[in-house]
Structure 1
């Protein structure tokens, strides 16, 4: 397994990490993701650790805490072999104190996550969503306190707007407190918005990307084909509208090329889609999810080899779409690649 630095931190993480969103399976969304039990989770964790996948990602909202509980139970007795990442700040109830990133909420949510995970520390804590109500200094001083007490080792955000992440970085630098080193983002061959603003920001500021849904909300698993309906058994029937949208033209153009490259390389469609991501700037780790051993084994096969430069370019071209303003303006400039490349080289993320 290839290991990379998590942004500009000293923490080295595997190129592939495991997402525990399928653990538990309660609620209208997560019940469609999976219902992995403790025994099943322990088996999947075994496979991950054997392959060098030591980073496990979860969140308090995943099945209302069950995902953290099951992950903690599956890691019992081998906590020191694992890097645990969890996320807080999304609503966990209907009360006024059940959502957001206030000082009290961050402290109580971290304590609750530690208890559910059965650990004394969280290796990577992420704010799961942007909270416009809580002052930046309140967030920073609270996270600093959690780090000083050893309950959190590294921190970051997830699904943040670029300006809000930049504000955290600037204020953290100003006050001399730990800066966020990771941004958990959606990025896939059929969802490349991350490149427009957040990738240049991450490269410039040393924020590594932890990629969620690398297979485009289950659309790049190899089961979809142009002109054919989704398979009879597919979570897309229930969850397609809950995930990031995708233009049908781009979706099937990408699928067609992945199928073609699969025949050329002997790799599966998911392996190709994940391998393309691993070659992109700022990507520290790609989160893979699996409900079964076979799915996990297939996803693990995305590493240990590389697409050729020509194959990477073909996938990049077929998945390209017009960027939103203002990225649409500067990306059209002839010198765009020359402007962007130094940021990526200077960051040296993933080296």
Structure 2
């Protein structure tokens, strides 16, 4: 197997920072390994240029789990002997209890659990009921000015809501979102590749961060994950399981693993700055790193080869947010 020497970097939106093409996500990541293994994985990731970590406090709304994955990440960083300047930290702010739970209080608690005084960027989570976006943009901008982080993005918002946030921020001299973190995979393409978001990428300078690219491990061959995995917009998960043999067939054609093909597919999208992966072993990280070379050599050819695996086409509305469960209007 061919390994990448070090992860290259791309800019996360025109106003965002340069980030590695791979970043490690946090949901059920750091609580799936022993303490020593977590420190080893963090150290290896940074050494290979995968020095961005998506870390959140999961205890809000449907994520009211009192999880400690963020606390364990902070412990792993300290055990690995990393200084704060050695890595990029992407936090999360939740809209489930906002504004009753203020962003200022959320970030204070979240950073304290990790053991730092600032993040580099944050992602504003999804929602079921639309918030006051004017207040959201204003409150986030205040935290940027307070030095808590330097840029922000959104998680599975509709393109229309993102556009409103961008235009309002510009008009008011506030800080606009610089990227969108969207569910994106060989099977789930309707929102990231649809016209509403494509226009944002082309005309608003928004970057794209791909999440859930392996469908909780299903697209890597773990067809029945034991851990909790992401939501299933459009109800297509069984179709994704059934399509795995075709993904494996394509991977064999390219001398790659299914996980590498799934990651490379997303990286070949011109707006994608990086892909979040939830590895829990060094061998998985090495396998994922090999996807970088695959994307560079065979990106468009590979995307053509998996064209038939677009499973939410005609099922999920490209203009919708995740919170609506995004059915196509009839």
| Match of residue 270 from structure 2 | 281
2:66 pairs with 1:78: no
Map 1:198-209 → 2, pairs under 5 A: 198-209=197-208
Following the alignment from structure 1 to structure 2, what is the Cα–Cα distance between the partners of residues 277 and 283?
Answer: 7
Structure 2: state its 5+ residue gaps.
Answer: 1-6, 60-64, 320-330
| Match of residue 134 from structure 2 | 137
- Choose from 210, 231, 236 the match for 1:246: 236
- Choose from 236, 242, 258 the match for 2:247: 258
| Match of residue 22 from structure 1 | 28
Alpha-carbon shift at residue 42 of structure 1 (Å): 1.1
Structure 1 residues 252 and 281 mapped into 2: Cα distance closer, same or farther (>3 Å)? farther
Alpha-carbon shift at residue 172 of structure 1 (Å): 0.3
Map 1:1-351 → 2, pairs under 5 A: 1-23=7-29, 25=31, 35-61=32-58, 64=66, 66-76=68-78, 77-91=82-96, 99-100=97-98, 102=99, 105-130=102-127, 132=129, 134-194=131-191, 195-196=193-194, 197-224=196-223, 234-235=225-226, 239=228, 242-244=231-233, 245-246=235-236, 248=238, 252-253=242-243, 255-305=244-294, 306-307=297-298, 309-319=300-310, 322-323=313-314
Structure 1 residues 308 and 114 mapped into 2: Cα distance closer, same or farther (>3 Å)? closer
> 1:307-347 CA deviation, whole Å, 9 max, x = no partner?
2533321212442664369769xxxxxxxxxxxxxxxxxxx
3-state DSSP of counterpart to 2:68? helix
Following the alignment from structure 1 to structure 2, what is the Cα–Cα distance between the partners of residues 240 and 70?
Answer: 19
Q: Normalising by structure 1, what TM-score?
A: 0.77
Following the alignment from structure 1 to structure 2, what is the Cα–Cα distance between the partners of residues 132 and 302?
Answer: 37
Following the alignment from structure 2 to structure 1, what is the Cα–Cα distance between the partners of residues 69 and 316?
Answer: 38
Alpha-carbon shift at residue 148 of structure 1 (Å): 1.1
Alpha-carbon shift at residue 17 of structure 1 (Å): 0.5
Query: C-alpha root-mean-square deviation of aligned residues, in Å?
Result: 2.6
Following the alignment from structure 1 to structure 2, what is the Cα–Cα distance between the partners of residues 240 and 110?
Answer: 24
Say if 1:89 and 1:128, in contact at 8 Å, map to a contact too: yes
Say if 1:86 and 1:125, in contact at 8 Å, map to a contact too: yes
Say if 1:57 and 1:85, in contact at 8 Å, map to a contact too: yes
3-state DSSP of counterpart to 1:301? helix
> 1:130-174 CA deviation, whole Å, 9 max, x = no partner?
474642232222212111111111111111122211111110011
3-state DSSP of counterpart to 2:185? coil
Q: Normalising by structure 2, what TM-score?
A: 0.81
| Match of residue 327 from structure 2 | none
Say if 1:114 and 1:120, in contact at 8 Å, map to a contact too: yes
Following the alignment from structure 1 to structure 2, what is the Cα–Cα distance between the partners of residues 134 and 319?
Answer: 31
Alpha-carbon shift at residue 291 of structure 1 (Å): 2.2
Structure 1: state its 5+ residue gaps.
Answer: 26-34, 92-98, 225-229, 329-351
Say if 1:220 and 1:269, in contact at 8 Å, map to a contact too: yes
Following the alignment from structure 1 to structure 2, what is the Cα–Cα distance between the partners of residues 241 and 22?
Answer: 11
Say if 1:61 and 1:90, in contact at 8 Å, map to a contact too: no
